[in-house]
């Protein structure tokens, strides 16, 4: 009896570097931030010490995930330079950098483009109502500012990841409006490679008393997103924030095809550790899904890169291809 081929779901073997946890925003659901001047900046020496042991462990992506130094802060230029230097270091050690550091000016984004294979920023939600509640003290969470970042990335030709935060008090209609806004940007520029659906999951450091998003609501959003977003945009769910294997598999059945970066720690949701690759793979295999690694840039955007970035991506594509052939020959 012939067995059916397994369906594919991807993930990025990743490690996160945090240049600083300090952030001038005070989102009430946040479990990440520190007050300005209260978080030491990550040194290049410490970053290199963390990255070197990972060179032989299959890590592909280095996510540069930073709190935000205010645009008018005298340290803003030094902050951006530290992010640039960390990306350059990651590249020199054989990793592929992907930066998410909040809204950036056009010149800042252009500077980081030269040392990143892709970049990202969560749109979160386009409704301004959240500025009166969970984003009351978060100036950079203005929807028009974040939407402008998506457009700016398209104008600069940057492969981009965005996403929605779910369960912050938005309505179902407002979620659809956010999806439609992303779809419109994608139709214009074609640079959005994936959209993350991050359910609010109560953390130990947040001040907001809101409940975690019900898993059935996450499934509903995934189904709606697959209707609204262009088919080339990949839907991503973070497996550490999905409450059960049943609901994770349901998200995949509804159209999610990626599980995001998986590494030692989810710095945004530190109370919810990532599942181990092999455990996750076994869970998925039982339902006829095959978990496969990917790069932080999707293949259709490889031609957008030049120089060292293009070479680094080509090298990783070759390595993954060789690994895939080896697995086939071993019957894996």
Residue with tokens 């898993």: 215
Tell me, yes or no, whether 331 lies in a domain: no
* pLDDT tens, N- to C-terminus, the chain (332 residues): 445 568 999 999 999 999 999 999 999 999 999 999 999 999 999 999 999 999 999 999 999 999 999 999 999 999 999 999 999 999 999 999 999 999 999 999 999 999 999 999 999 999 999 999 999 999 999 999 999 999 999 999 999 999 999 999 999 999 999 999 999 999 999 999 999 999 999 999 999 999 999 999 999 999 999 999 999 999 999 999 998 999 999 999 999 999 999 998 999 999 999 988 888 999 999 999 999 999 999 999 999 999 999 999 999 999 998 877 655 433 33
**What is the tens place of the pLDDT at every residue in 110-136?**
999 999 999 999 999 999 999 999 999
Domain of 261 in residue numbering reads as 7-321
* pLDDT of 331: 38
Tell me, yes or no, whether 328 lies in a domain: no
Tell me, yes or no, whether 330 lies in a domain: no
Tell me, yes or no, whether 326 lies in a domain: no
DSSP state for residue 124 in the 8-state scheme: B
DSSP state for residue 34 in the 8-state scheme: B
Tell me, yes or no, whether 213 lies in a domain: yes
Q: Cβ(197)–Cβ(168) under 8 Å?
A: no
Q: Cβ(257)–Cβ(234) under 8 Å?
A: yes
Tell me, yes or no, whether 141 lies in a domain: yes
* pLDDT of 3: 53
In degrees and rounded to multiples of 5, residue 49 shows phi and psi of -65, -35
* pLDDT of 329: 38
In the chain, the largest separation of any two C-alpha atoms, in whole Å, equals 69
Tell me, yes or no, whether 49 lies in a domain: yes
Q: What are the counts of helices (DSSP H) followed by strands (DSSP E) for the chain?
A: 9, 9
> Which residues does 68 contact at the CB level (< 8 Å), separation at least 6?
23, 24, 25, 101, 102, 103, 140
Helix (H, G, I), strand (E, B) or coil at 257: coil
* pLDDT of 215: 96
Q: Identify the CATH number of the domain in which residue 113 sits.
A: 3.20.20.70
CA–CA gap between residue 52 and residue 74 (Å, rounded): 32
Structural domains counted in the chain: 1
* pLDDT of 327: 55
DSSP string, 51-89: HGGGTTTT--EEEEE-----TTSTTHHHHHHHHHHHHHH
**What is the tens place of the pLDDT at every residue in 288-317?**
999 999 999 999 999 999 999 999 999 999
Tell me, yes or no, whether 256 lies in a domain: yes
Helix (H, G, I), strand (E, B) or coil at 118: strand
* pLDDT of 195: 98
Query: Computed over its alpha carbons, how large is the radius of gyration of the chain?
Result: 19
């Amino acid at each position: 009896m012939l067995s059916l081929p397994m369906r594919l779901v991807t993930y990025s073997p990743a490690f996160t570097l945090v240049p600083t946890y300090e952030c001038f925003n005070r989102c009430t659901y946040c479990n990440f931030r520190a007050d300005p001047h209260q978080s030491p900046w990550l040194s290049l020496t410490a970053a290199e010490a963390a990255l070197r042991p990972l060179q032989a462990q299959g890590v592909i992506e280095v996510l540069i995930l930073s709190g935000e130094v205010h645009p008018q802060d005298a340290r803003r230029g030094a902050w951006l330079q530290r992010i640039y230097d960390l990306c350059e270091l990651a590249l020199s050690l054989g990793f592929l950098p992907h930066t998410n550091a909040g809204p950036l000016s056009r010149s800042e984004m252009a500077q980081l483009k030269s040392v990143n294979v892709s970049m990202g920023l969560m749109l979160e939600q386009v409704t301004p109502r959240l500025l009166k509640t969970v984003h009351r003290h978060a100036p950079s969470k203005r929807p028009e500012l974040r939407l402008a970042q998506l457009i700016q990335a398209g104008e600069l030709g940057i492969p981009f990841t965005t996403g929605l935060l779910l369960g912050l008090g938005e309505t179902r209609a407002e979620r659809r409006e956010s999806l439609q806004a992303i779809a419109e940007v994608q139709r214009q520029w074609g640079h959005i490679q994936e959209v993350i659906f991050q359910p609010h999951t109560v953390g130990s450091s947040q001040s907001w008393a809101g409940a975690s998003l019900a898993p059935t609501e996450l499934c509903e959003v995934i189904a709606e997103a697959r209707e609204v977003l262009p088919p080339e945009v990949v839907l991503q769910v973070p497996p550490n924030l999905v409450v059960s294997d049943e609901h994770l598999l349901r998200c995949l059945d509804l159209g999610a095809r990626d599980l995001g970066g998986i590494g030692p720690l989810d710095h945004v949701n530190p109370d919810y550790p990532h599942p181990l690759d092999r455990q996750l793979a076994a869970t998925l295999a039982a339902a006829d899904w095959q978990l496969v690694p990917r790069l932080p840039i999707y293949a259709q955007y490889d031609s957008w890169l030049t120089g060292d970035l293009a070479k680094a991506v080509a090298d990783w594509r070759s390595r993954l291809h060789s690994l895939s052939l080896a697995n086939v020959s071993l019957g894996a």
